[in-house]
Amino acid sequence: MNSKQLQYFLVTVQKGSIAAAARELDIAQPAISQQLANLEREMGSALFERSFKGVSLTAAGEVFEKHAKKLIEDINAAKMELHQLAANQHGVVRVGMLPSIGNVLSMSLIAMVNEFHPQLKLEISTGPSYAVKEWLKTNQVDIALTYEQEVESRFMSAYPLIEEFMYLVVGVNEASAYYQLLQNRDTICFWELSQFELLTPGPKDALGRLIEKYEHDTGVALKHDKAYSGQLMTGLRQVIQGEGLMILPSSAMYHLEESKVIKSLKITQPDMKRQVLAATNSNFAMTDAIVKMLSIIQEASSTEQACGHWRGNLLNKVPKSDARSMGFASSSTVSVL
């Protein structure tokens, strides 16, 4: 008996016929039939009742199904633990983050890993909030840097990093003359946002849901009529060209503010803010490398907040690590996907 036979058996049970299982697995039907026959021979019992309509489990098959599911779960768990062990031995940590967070943290993380933590290998991937959450759920990343709106306690352990302030972002060039009065202000009340057409993401995105929450809590309906691709860099280009306004944290646009192509107004009454968190998958044990990377992320967050790139209140509640106990190989690698 092998894992292939177990997989063929369970898919056949699920689909109700060998032909349907063959289509699902993209494998020739005779190959599945042969493997199932071998399995029944080894078990010494018929596991299926076969008819022109398909297959159904015998009493023996029903008993075997319970064990087959458990065996597959154990095999997958073993594979996962071995993967984690290999990652720990090589100091590999995969971090997924949103573009706005990556804009403020990626360079700091890369610099810190290269200079102070050569035993670690950092792999960075960026994507929308819902994608980053899915990556963490399916073990495509070890750490997700995301927002409180995306936290699912059933599989996530979340460690708050910062409560970031939100800003209205306006262009300052001649194309933005319509917004000239805004360019001379430092703050704006939330209700005033209703006077302008905004570039906003939909409710699938964490920022879109945050905006919806503030609309609901204040009773102020904002204008979401401007065409927006949902891509941060594209939206900022539209703002620079005077084609609309965006609601963003400083992490997403501080570099453009330093270049004096945009102006940001802090949103007040009420203060608009949200928590940024580092999350891990609670279904898997954290390696020493992951714990250390969480500490580095905390340090990078503090650095960027102190210099004004990431404006907000530090929370920094990540697990503690002891760098002296880390026994990794002595070379560092950073890759950004």
Residue that the structure tokens 């289509």 belong to: 23
Within 10 A of 9 (CB to CB), how many other CB atoms are there?
27
The model's pLDDT over 250-291, given as tens digits with 9 standing for 90+, comes to: 999 999 999 999 999 999 999 999 999 999 999 887 888 899
Average pLDDT over residues 88-112: 90
Name the 3-class secondary structure at 3: helix
189 and 323 part of one domain: no
Q: Is 336 helix (H, G, I), strand (E, B) or coil?
A: strand
Domain span at residue 44 reads 3-79
Same domain, residue pair 159 and 281: yes
At residue 316 the predicted structure's pLDDT band, cuts being 50, 70 and 90, is confident
In angstroms, the CA 120 to CA 291 distance is 11
Per-residue model confidence (pLDDT) at position 322: 45
**One domain, residues 44 and 136:** no
* Under 8 Å between Cβ of 310 and 253: no
> Do 311 and 251 share a structural domain?
no
Alpha carbon distances (Å) from 328 to 91, 124, 284, 299: 6, 19, 20, 20
**172 against 143, higher pLDDT:** 143
- Are residues 129 and 95 part of one domain? yes
Q: Residue 148: what pLDDT? A: 86
CB under 8 Å to 319, separation ≥6 — which residues?
Answer: 159, 286, 291, 294, 295
Q: Is this prediction's pTM over 0.75? A: no
Q: Domain check: are 175 and 267 in the same one? A: yes
Q: CA 151, 157, 159: angle at the middle one, nearest 5?
A: 85
CA distance 201 to 231: 9
